[in-house]
Amino acid sequence: MAKDSRSTLVSLAVNPVTLLGVVLTTTGGVLWLILTALEIFDTVNNPYVGILLFGLLPAIFFAGLALIPIGIWWRRRQMAAAGRRVEPLAINWQNPAWRKLVIVFTVATVANLIIGSSFLLAGVHYMESNNFCGAACHVMYPENAQYRISPHSNVDCVACHVDEGLGGFIQAKTNGTLQLIHTVFNSYPKPVPTPVHNLPPVEHMCLKCHSVNQNYGSQVIVRKGFAEDDGAATATVLNMHVGGGANNKGAHGAHLNAVTMEYASDEKREKIAWVRMRRADGSVREYATPDWNAGKRTGLETRTMSCVDCHNRAAHSFESPERALNQAMVLGRIDHTLPGIRKRGIELLKATYASHEVARQQISTHLADYYVKNHPAVAKDRAKQMDQAAAALYDIYSRNVWPQYNLTWGSRVNHLGHNDSPGCFRCHGGDLTSADGLQITQDCSVCHEAVSMDEKNPEILKTLGLAQQK
Ligand code: HEC
Ligand code: HEC
Ligand code: HEC
Ligand code: HEC
Ligand code: HEC
């Protein structure tokens, strides 16, 4: 034998493809180790580092790994084609050089396996992080912005969006991959479509933390604000009947206690044509629109009613301009004594801007212009309050309206209520009747006592001791 097999392998390995493979693998591996260390010590906090760590670097690493044998194989073919004698890569344990090579190879493979599998594990873990779902994936910025100010801001996205078990895992990963491809090619529908068709069943979602057996009784909801004409303090006060558990009154009492409700609607669930209520005692009652009864049923889907048919905005509760502005004024972020601020504020919030940046500038200049023109004394003496108001208005605008994703006021309907969208009135609105002529109730007080509706300084606030509170 002219040369031993090891040097044959070495000479085979010295080819551009294999060398490129070695360089890629080492670069990918080393950069990954460094970035991982930085991540562990929390020095970088950027969602794109995640994509680099769990997307790009592993791709480089594995591509390099694959190139190494490809290069060797290619070189062998080349040499054979050139008529050069290629020694078979026979293992010869007697040869110390061979033994060394095998040990080096084994150690390298084990190291690669460890690095490779931690890539995979970390990648899977990262893809379940809120950073990946909400921050690296652009089209979900709006959902993420609302999520962060929702009561569920500490609940991971995957707790609600990914079902338990292997099925949910595989579904989430295939969806996630498709979504990632859409995002990379910027081909994602904007805004992201709702309803989410593959939301887990509520038993695996909301009911991990909440219970249908809880009696919430009646709850006083107080929404304060300021009148548009004279800026006087106003309040809407509802005594909302929620019930549930042993209490079969109210929204939970009527809908969750031993009742199954199915309904048929358009895909967006905004127009409901038929409802069937089945009680535990077996009694059934159906309500339908005249169209449904006349057999016009195309394009309708049937679903079983659950938590998210009312609480569809539990984690992403986009606001209405009026309610958001009232809240900012009640909290003092916008000085309610600025003359005309409520009317002008709503106009500025509802205006159309090309982007967030344009909105930020124009809200500020248009508000200033308004005061210079109509209330010069305010413009002169209360510049600070004006700036604060402009900043707060921009804040409201930018978390609710996203021109780049075609998302504006009202794009995301909230089914809990009936003021900004039909909500409860999709069924309770009087369009549906039963065969014996009954309607689903529209009686205000069955759902809530409307104690005060935008009344100025209502007496009830003093009675409840809430007049001075935010
Ligand atoms: C408490 C449960 C919950 C959590 C936590 C949650 N979501 Fe949602 N999400 C929902 C529900 C419910 C819907 C509406 C489903 C429907 O109407 O079909 C939804 C809808 C969406 C939609 C569709 C667009 C829309 O607004 O209807 C996106 C995108 C989304 N969520 C992303 C996220 C991201 C990103 C996170 C984490 C930052 C997250 N969600 C956390 C429950 C949740
Ligand atoms: C991981 C646990 C968890 C999950 C999952 C969860 N919630 Fe909650 N939810 C909470 C907690 C805790 C609160 C109380 C938060 C607070 O008051 O600060 C809450 C509050 C609420 C509230 C009251 C909100 C308010 O404005 O006071 C509603 C309604 C609600 N959840 C509905 C849902 C629905 C619907 C789902 C399923 C889509 C869901 N939750 C999933 C833990 C959870
Ligand atoms: C028919 C509509 C409807 C359905 C279905 C429904 N809810 Fe509610 N829920 C309400 C209304 C109305 C309130 C009163 C709060 C409000 O108006 O803001 C409420 C209140 C709540 C609250 C807050 C109670 C509190 O402490 O103030 C929680 C938590 C909640 N619901 C969870 C759920 C869960 C979990 C489910 C599914 C098992 C569910 N709801 C199904 C209408 C509904
Ligand atoms: C999918 C249709 C549907 C939607 C949406 C819906 N309901 Fe209902 N609701 C019904 C039906 C059906 C009944 C039972 C009527 C009967 O007793 O025959 C009912 C009954 C009730 C009752 C008891 C009425 C009574 O006479 O005792 C209350 C309270 C109630 N709903 C509250 C709500 C609230 C609050 C919402 C919105 C957050 C809502 N519902 C949304 C279909 C719906
Ligand atoms: C099927 C149940 C139901 C019926 C019937 C009903 N409401 Fe409501 N109403 C609700 C729910 C749920 C909300 C939302 C509470 C919330 O925002 O948390 C609401 C909210 C309101 C609000 C507050 C709006 C806001 O922006 O804060 C007013 C005012 C109101 N209802 C008045 C009425 C009046 C008046 C009637 C009778 C003509 C009526 N409602 C009938 C369920 C009902």
The answer to whether residue 96 is domain-embedded is yes
Angle between helix 165-184 and 96-127 (nearest 10): 90
User: Do 82 and 161 sit in the same domain of this protein?
Assistant: no
- Domain check: are 10 and 122 in the same one? yes
DSSP designation for 1: -
Cis preceding-peptide flag for 88 (omega within 30 of 0): no
Q: Whose CA is nearest to atom 18 of ligand 1?
A: 195
Question: What is the model's pLDDT at position 294?
Answer: 96
Q: Are 399 and 431 part of one and the same domain?
A: no
Q: What is the pLDDT of residue 293?
A: 96
Candidate of 418, 420, 449, 451 to mutate for ligand 5, largest count of ligand atoms within 8 Å of Cβ: 418
Whole-number Å distance between alpha carbons of 244 and 362: 48
Q: Are residues 13 and 113 in the same domain?
A: yes
Burial group, residue 116, by CB count within 10 angstroms (0-12, 13-18, 19+): middle
The counts of H helices and E strands in the chain are 20, 7
Given the CA of residue 241, which atom of ligand 4 is nearest to it? Answer: 29
Residue nearest atom 29 of ligand 5, based on CA coordinates: 453
pLDDT of residue 35: 73
Query: Is the CB of 285 inside a 6 Å radius of any atom of ligand 4?
Result: yes
- Residue 197 within any structural domain of the chain: yes
Pocket probe for ligand 1: among 141, 160, 204, the residue whose CB has the most ligand atoms within 8 Å is 160
What's the gap in Å between 217 CA and the centre of ligand 1?
A: 28
In a domain, 36, yes or no: yes
- Alpha carbon of 174 to those of 92, 138, 169, 177, 321: distances in Å? 46, 18, 9, 5, 37
Within a domain: residue 97? yes
List the alpha helices (DSSP H) in 311-465. 321-330, 341-350, 356-374, 376-381, 383-400, 425-428, 444-447, 459-463
Ligand 5 nearest atom to the CA of residue 446, by list position = 5
pLDDT confidence of residue 434:
96
Nearest C-alpha neighbor of 287 from the set 270, 303, 272, 307: 272
Identify which of 152, 161, 208 to mutate to test ligand 2's pocket (most ligand atoms within 8 A of the CB): 152
Count structural domains, the chain: 4
Give a yes or no: residue 414 inside a domain.
no
- Quote the pLDDT of residue 2: 44
Look at residues 449, 427, 422, 447 and name the one whose alpha carbon lies nearest to residue 439. 427
Same-domain check for residues 144 and 116: no
For residue 416, being part of any structural domain is answered with no
Whether 116 and 139 share a structural domain: no
Q: Are 444 and 301 part of one and the same domain? A: yes
Q: 272 and 304 in one domain?
A: yes
Distance 199 CA to ligand 3 centre (A): 18
162 falls within a domain: yes
Verify that 337 and 294 share a domain, yes or no. Answer: no
Burial of 53 (0-12, 13-18, 19+ CB in 10 A): buried
Tens of pLDDT along the chain (470 residues)? 444 555 677 777 788 898 899 889 888 888 877 777 766 665 555 556 666 666 778 888 899 989 988 998 898 888 888 887 766 666 677 777 777 777 877 887 788 777 776 776 676 677 667 777 776 677 889 999 999 999 999 998 888 988 887 777 777 777 777 777 777 777 888 888 887 788 899 999 999 999 999 999 999 999 999 998 888 999 999 999 999 999 999 999 999 988 999 999 999 999 999 999 999 899 999 999 999 999 999 999 999 999 999 999 999 999 999 999 999 999 999 999 999 999 999 999 999 999 999 999 999 999 999 999 999 999 999 999 999 999 999 999 999 999 999 999 999 999 999 998 999 999 999 999 999 999 999 999 999 999 999 999 999 999 988 888 87
Distance of CA 454 to the CA centre of its chain: 32
Q: Tell the residue number behind the tokens 């409840």, with chain if given.
A: 464
Which residue puts its alpha carbon closest to atom 6 of ligand 4?
A: 424
Which atom number of ligand 3 is nearest to the Cα of residue 254?
1
d(CA 380, CA 371): 9
The answer as to whether 106 is a domain residue is yes
Q: Whose CA is nearest to atom 11 of ligand 5?
A: 417
What span, in angstroms and rounded, lies between the C-alpha atoms of 140 and 190? 10
Q: Assess whether 296 and 444 both reside in one domain.
A: yes
Question: So what's the pLDDT on residue 440?
Answer: 97
* End-to-end alpha carbon distance in the chain: 92
Which structural domain, as residue segments, surrounds residue 167?
A: 134-208
Size of the chain in residues: 470
- Residues 250, 241 contacting (CB under 8 angstroms): yes
95 and 169 inside one domain: no
Taking every pair of Cα atoms in the chain, the longest distance, rounded to a whole number of angstroms, is 106
Same domain, residue pair 77 and 191: no
pLDDT at 265: 96
